[in-house]
Chain A
């Protein structure tokens, strides 16, 4: 393990990296050498003082990964990913000592968050949102712990959870997304570095929104988050994940895994605002966002609701899904995907109905502008035992300009005669009449487009927690800048 020999040189390299609009925090990364092999997997596991079972699991995943082909079925194109040309571990060096409070956190790190609009201290006081901030794969600060501990909620970095409640992690990790699931999820299983762990005890309604901001900082470092949320019987939690990333020329791979488990009568609401760097207007650079998100409604009357606002990344490949195992369980998927310039998105959901009287609802709003291409891909499966199961799907596409594309690929499988599946789809454009009407009232073209698009997305925006809805609306406007003459 020649792990840290080249660190200084690498850090120098990173600092010299040219970029125009982003900013890079100069923090001494403790970076594993480039490339991916069994040693790297062992290095990561050792760095995190992981138990033996987890190392074994990682190694199984790694071996399996070597045999897997790249998923080819999605409607996205990119050059082959050179997995040997990336770093798989990078931690801010000051973390080795382990800050006990915000005061101990590297001030430069805090400054970076402030540039991103995440002043932890202010949030602590003002907004009542607990932030488990993930910076280059290692969580550096967690707020509101005391308040959450009072009600028995565990909200901490995955690495901490392995010390605090290893049995819970062991019991549930990989049960919703097995390490054999797909190439990207398998890679994550082998090399994941951190992410959030949430456990809500029986009968507890989590007293605040739980929120994590992700940010990629060190150049060429893949980000492999792993999040696990368990809502025990009759509990409730709302979780929000938001991302921003600095300017980059090289493509960066982001292959996260999120697993949700809802037991009897429990409810999990998971919201995402994804604003990774999308590449420039010519399609150069940008993040590859290959994410596997899946929840299981394990218990009766449980509910999982996904809401996503996907505006960033050069390529988005994600299908937040629900396995509706418990009788009367409910799965929901609300999605806004915006692609501009040369962005590509292939996104949707899978609703797997196993239990009786299970219900699912899919509302997907896709907006394409510039040369962007976007696909809604969804599966609704009614299994033989899913008596009286119901699904409603609404899939709307909005096209801006005449160079972009929208595609809808709904798969419906029903093995139960009592199940009812509904699918509605529309495709529309922003009409010249609408634009002229708004401009005649004094609204400039870009603001007019943002207004129409916000209206188009309203049903989904309404699903977001209040404090993030405003941010999301602004993001909708920003992502479409330059989309009209």
Chain B
């Protein structure tokens, strides 16, 4: 049972177009004029030191409260996102894998995901899935991703290890089947085995209709997920853009060139 949330016109349009984006948080300007253009099917890596504005960028794309756009705009598949609620962006196909996935005590993972998928289906005027139909999809995805069914019954992220939390994000992404996935430091806190599992999951999601934005501090994730483009974000601006070799260069030299000490 395939979930049709992919926009058929996705191929023709630019997936994500960010133009001269300025964002302030509590009156402090964090992003100072970002330009970014992502085509359908592309994977872009946004790299940068701590405090460069990476997480701000991911949150502002997802529409979190408290991030004020003071200039510029974000256009997703030809549509300006400003003023759009987070749930509407999600329904239109934007998914954010959280750096710190949030615990929801007492709510089983399956319940949460069924609620989410059905909310998105409702948005598109599609019939809701019943428990049986949903469990089928969930089982299929866990099997593909090599995730144990045990994780489905547990409360969302409660008592999960760091690796389990990140795998759970990937599982959610696989179930919701977004057109644009933003992965915010998904590699942080993962050992090498967990990193491989997560990367494998992301690679399986690669498709000509889907774009992925990888936000990361380290190059090592890019050993497993090869990006089409790499951007260096520092001081709220994209300082350099290049191919996958740029990541390797950063690994060697650090962010010193951009006025930051190597981490």
Contact with A along B111-141 (1 / 0, CB 8 A): 1110111011001000000000000000000
Q: Is B87 an interface residue when CB atoms closer than 8 A count as contact?
A: yes
Contact of B155 with A443 in the complex, beta carbons under 8 Å: no
Residue numbers in A under 8 Å from B64 (CB-CB): 436, 440
Closest to B100 in A: A433
Closest to B113 in A: A441
- Give the interface segment out of A8-16, A167-175, A320-328, A453-461: A453-461
Residue numbers in A under 8 Å from B87 (CB-CB): 439-440, 442-445
Residue numbers in A under 8 Å from B101 (CB-CB): 437
8 Å CB contacts to B: which residues of A429-467? Answer: 431-434, 436-445, 447, 451-452, 454-459
Complex: how many Å from CA A455 to CA B100? Answer: 20
Complex: how many Å from CA A432 to CA B104? Answer: 12
Residue numbers in A under 8 Å from B162 (CB-CB): none
Q: Knowing A439-B90, A440-B86, say if A451 contacts B112 (CB, 8 Å).
A: yes
Residue numbers in A under 8 Å from B105 (CB-CB): 455-456
Residue numbers in B under 8 Å from A444 (CB-CB): 85, 87, 119
Q: Which of B65, B98, B106, B116 has a CB less than 8 Å from the CB of A442?
A: B116
8 Å CB contacts to A: which residues of B59-102? Answer: 62-65, 85-87, 89-91, 95-96, 98, 100-102
Q: Is B176 an interface residue when CB atoms closer than 8 A count as contact?
A: yes
Contact of B65 with A443 in the complex, beta carbons under 8 Å: no
Contact of A455 with B106 in the complex, beta carbons under 8 Å: yes
Contact of B98 with A437 in the complex, beta carbons under 8 Å: yes
Contact of B106 with A434 in the complex, beta carbons under 8 Å: no
Tell me how many residue pairs across A and B have CB atoms closer than 8 Å: 79
Contact of B106 with A441 in the complex, beta carbons under 8 Å: no
Interface of A is mostly: helix
Closest to A433 in B: B102
Residue numbers in B under 8 Å from A452 (CB-CB): 104, 107
Complex: how many Å from CA A455 to CA B105? Answer: 6
Residue numbers in B under 8 Å from A447 (CB-CB): 115, 119
Residue numbers in B under 8 Å from A438 (CB-CB): 104, 112, 116
Q: How large is the interface on A (under 10, 10 to 19, 20 to 34, 35 or more residues)?
A: 20 to 34
Contact of B106 with A456 in the complex, beta carbons under 8 Å: yes
Q: Which of A432, A451, A455, A458 has a CB less than 8 Å from the CB of B65?
A: A432
Q: Knowing A442-B116, A443-B116, A444-B119, say if A455 contacts B107 (CB, 8 Å).
A: yes
Closest to A430 in B: B104
Contact of A451 with B86 in the complex, beta carbons under 8 Å: no
Contact of B102 with A434 in the complex, beta carbons under 8 Å: yes
Q: Is B142 an interface residue when CB atoms closer than 8 A count as contact?
A: no
Complex: how many Å from CA A221 to CA B156? Answer: 47
Complex: how many Å from CA A447 to CA B122? Answer: 13
Closest to B111 in A: A451
Complex: how many Å from CA A363 to CA B102? Answer: 25
Residue numbers in A under 8 Å from B95 (CB-CB): 440
Complex: how many Å from CA A443 to CA B116? Answer: 5
Q: Knowing A432-B65, A436-B64, say if A441 contacts B107 (CB, 8 Å).
A: no
Closest to A459 in B: B106
Residue numbers in A under 8 Å from B117 (CB-CB): 442
Q: Which of B85, B100, B111, B112 has a CB less than 8 Å from the CB of A441?
A: B112
Q: What is the minimal beta-carbon distance from B49 to any residue of chain A, in angstroms? A: 24
Residue numbers in B under 8 Å from A437 (CB-CB): 98, 101-102, 104
Q: Which of B90, B106, B120 has a CB less than 8 Å from the CB of A454?
A: B106
Complex: how many Å from CA A114 to CA B87? Answer: 36
8 Å CB contacts to A: which residues of B192-230? Answer: none
Q: What is the minimal beta-carbon distance from A216 to any residue of chain B, in angstroms? A: 33
Q: Knowing A447-B115, A451-B115, say if A442 contacts B107 (CB, 8 Å).
A: no
Q: Is B172 an interface residue when CB atoms closer than 8 A count as contact?
A: yes
A→B interface (CB under 8 Å): 431-434, 436-445, 447, 451-452, 454-459
Complex A-B, nearest 10 residue pairs according to Cβ-Cβ distance, in ascending order: A455-B106, A455-B107, A458-B106, A441-B116, A442-B90, A437-B102, A439-B86, A442-B120, A442-B119, A439-B87
Can you offer 30 A-B residue contacts whose CB atoms are under 8 A? A431-B102, A432-B65, A434-B103, A434-B104, A436-B65, A436-B86, A436-B102, A437-B98, A437-B101, A438-B104, A438-B112, A439-B87, A440-B63, A440-B64, A440-B90, A440-B95, A440-B96, A441-B116, A442-B91, A444-B87, A445-B87, A451-B111, A451-B115, A452-B104, A452-B107, A455-B104, A455-B105, A455-B106, A456-B106, A459-B106
